[in-house]
Chain A
C-alpha cells in the first residue's frame, strides 16, 4: 500500500508538467486549430526565465574585505550582490534564496509577450494552411528558439536550487498513518504539484466564469458560428495564445529545481506532451489534464523494479504503448469531441 501511494506521488511531478504543457497545447489547438510544435520550447523558455532571474539577483560587485586575507596575505576581494547593498544582507539573501518562486512574477509578463509576438508574427498566418505546414513552421521555430538559448546560456544544464525552506524531503507516510520512512517525498515536488493545481484551476475558472472565457469556449466548440456573431474572435485568440504560453512557461519555471534546465528540455517534453494531448482527446481541456496526470503516474508505476523485472523496458515504452492503443481503439482519445481533426 505504501509503495502504491509512493508511486502515485512519484508520478505527480512529471504528471503535473505533462498536464500543464498539454493544457496549453490543447488551448492553442482547440481555439486556434493550430498544432504547435514550439510549445516545448515555451516550456523551456519558462525554465530559462528562472535561470535569468536567479542570475540577475546574484549580480555582484567586488568589495575588499579587510577582515580576511587570501592565500597571498593580501586583503581578500569578495563578491557582494547588489541586493545586499539595497536591502541589507539578510533580506538580500532571502531574495536570492527565493529566486525560483520570484521568477513567476517575471515569467508571466515575459511569456505572455512572447506568446503575443509568436501569434501575431507567425502563427496567425498559418490558420488557413494545412496542419503539416503548421507542424513544420513551429518545428522550425522550436529549433530557432532552442539555438538562441544555447547561444546565450550554453549547452550544459544549469542547476538552480529551490528555496532552502523547501529543500530536502519529508516523511509523507507518517502524516497519513504509515510507518516512519515508508513514504519519503521531496518538498519541492509537492509544491510543484500544488502549484500546477492552482494554475490549472485558474485557467479553468477563467474560462468558466468570465465572458471572455465563455466566448473562447464557444469558439472552441464551433468556431464558425462564433465568428458569425460578429465577435472579434481573432483578438481573443491572440490573448489565448499568450495565456497558453504563460502556462507552459510557469510549468517550466517551477520545474527548474526538479531538473536543471538545458536548451533541449523542451523537445524532450514536447513529444510526450503531444502523446498526452492525443490520449486525452484533441481539443478537450479536462482530457489533457487528466491524461497528463494519468500518464505521469502510469510511467512511475512502470518504473518500479517489480514492473521492470517482469516486463523489461516497460518504463521506456509505456506511454507510447498506451498512446498507440488509445489512438487505435478510441481515436478521439479519452474525452475527445467528435469532429476535431477528423478530415
Chain B
C-alpha cells in the first residue's frame, strides 16, 4: 500500500487514527470534573504535540540513522519561525506560502551549517553544531534585531504591507493566520454528555502535515538512501572502501532533518504568529534530543511518542501539585498519606524535569532503543510466556 510494507502501512494507519481522534482520546475526563485539568485535548497543546512530533521525526532521520548527534537543530526551527512570520508580514496571512518558505529557508540554512559542521565527526560535530546554534541565537537576540525583533521577538503589526492580503481587518485588528480563509484558530466544540471535545482547524492542518511527514520518513527509512545512512553509522571505513562517499549522504540527511525542523517552526508560527530567539537556544535543541532518544532513536514511531510524552509532562504532569496528591492518596491513613506525598512530591508538578532527567538516563543506560524498544521487549516477553504456556516448553525458541 502506498509503496509501504504491510507492517509499515499498519503503523501509518495507527498514526493517522491517533492524530484524527486525538481531540477525543486526549480528553478522557468529563468537562467540569475534578480531573478535567488533566485533559490534554485542547488545541494549543495538541498543536504542540504534532509540531514537536514533526521536529523529532526530522531529527531522528539524522541522529537515528547516521548517529550524528546535533545539538543545534533548534536553530533551524527558529529560522523557520522567523521566515513564516515575515511571510505573514509581507505577503499574506495564508499559512501555505509561509510554511513553504520556512522549509526552504531552513533547508538553505542547514545546508550551510551542515556543509561546515560535517567536515568533522563525532564529538567535534556535536560541538560545531552547538557553537553554530548558540551563535545564531546570540545574533538573533542582538545584532539581527531588525530582522528578528531581538528580545521582544518578531511580531505582526497593523502597518505591515501584506501585499496579497489586508494590513488590517475591517475592524482595525491584525488579521489571523488562515488557510485560504479557514482561520487556524477556528474550533468546533462538540459536547457528548458530560464530555466536551474541541476540533481545531490549526491542529488538523498540523496533523495532516505530521502524517505526510511521517509517511515520508517511512519511505526514507525503507529506501536505499536510508540503508546507506545506517551503514554510515555502522562503519565509515567500510563505507568508503565500498566506493560510497559518506559526506553527501550525511549532508543530505542533515538538510532533510533541517527542513523538518523548519517545517515545525513554520507551523508553530502559523498557529501563533510570532517568533522569538529563545526557540533557537541550545536547550531547545537539547529538548528534541531528549524527545528522540526517550521515544527511541532509529525507530519510526519513537520520536513522535517521545515528543508527545515530553509535551504532556511539561503541560499536564506539571499540574500535579501537593493538593492534588493529597486528594489522590486521601484514602491512606494520615501519617502514611503525608509520607507518600512527601516522597512523590519532588518528582511531580514543578519537579517534572527531575522525573524526565531520571527516565532519560534510565533509557540511555538500559534501553538504547528507547521506550519503543522497551515496549517491544515487554511484548516479546509476554508472547514468550504465552508460548511456553501453550506449547511444550523449550521446544520452540522465538526468533530474535
Contacts and interface: CB of A to CB of B under 8 A. Distances in A.
Given A313-B138, A328-B116, A144 B354 contact: yes
Contacts, number: 106
A135 B365 contact: no
A305 to B, nearest CB: 14
A323 B122 contact: no
B139 A144 contact: no
A267 B284 CA distance: 13
A148 B354 contact: yes
Interface size range of chain A in the complex: 35 or more
B67 interface: yes
Contacts of A282: 123
Interface string A304-320: 00000000110011001
A143 B135 contact: no
B289 A136 contact: yes
A76 interface: no
Nearest to B365: A137
A132 B357 contact: no
Q: Is the interface of B mostly helix, strand, loop or mixed?
A: helix
B286 interface: yes
A131 B233 CA distance: 13
Given A313-B138, A313-B142, A316-B139, A140 B131 contact: no
B300 to A, nearest CB: 20
Contact of A341 (B123, B141, B360, B364): B123
Contacts of A139: 286, 289
A137 B283 CA distance: 15
A327 interface: yes
A135 B123 contact: yes
A324 to B, nearest CB: 6
A95 B293 CA distance: 48
B122 A140 contact: no
A331 B361 CA distance: 31
A35 B124 CA distance: 11
Contacts of B120: 327-328, 331
Contacts of A327: 120, 124, 127-128
A317 B135 contact: yes
Interface string A186-223: 00000000000000000000000000000000000000
A271 B130 contact: yes
A154 to B, nearest CB: 11
Nearest to B128: A327
Contacts of A323: 127-128, 131
In terms of DSSP, what is the predominant structure of the interface of chain A?
A: helix
B364 A137 contact: yes
Nearest to A343: B122
A140 B360 contact: yes
A331 B293 CA distance: 29
A131 B122 contact: yes
Contacts of A122: 365
A146 B357 CA distance: 10
A271 B69 CA distance: 15
Contacts of B138: 313, 316-317, 320
Given A274-B127, A278-B124, A133 B368 contact: yes
B132 A320 contact: yes
B329 to A, nearest CB: 20
A235 interface: no
A339 interface: no
A321 interface: yes
A49 interface: no
Nearest to A324: B131
B360 A321 contact: no
Contacts of A88: none
A274 B346 CA distance: 31
B29 to A, nearest CB: 28
A177 interface: no
A226 interface: no
B305 to A, nearest CB: 18
Q: Pick from A140, A144, A278 the residue with the most CB of B within 10 Å.
A: A140
Contacts of B142: 312-313, 316
Given A35-B123, A144-B358, A274-B127, A132 B353 contact: no
Given A147-B351, A151-B346, A132 B67 contact: yes
A321 B139 CA distance: 12
A102 interface: no
Interface in B92-139: 116, 119-120, 122-124, 126-128, 130-132, 134-135, 138-139
A130 B67 contact: yes
A103 B293 CA distance: 39
Interface string A223-267: 000000000000000000000000000000000000000000001
Given A132-B126, A143-B356, A317-B135, 11 more contacts: A132-B67, A133-B368, A136-B289, A140-B361, A271-B282, A278-B124, A313-B143, A316-B135, A316-B143, A328-B119, A331-B124
5 contacts: A137-B361, A141-B361, A271-B282, A321-B135, A324-B131
| In the complex, the 5 A-B pairs of residues with the closest C-beta atoms, listed nearest first | A313-B143, A143-B357, A316-B138, A147-B354, A140-B361
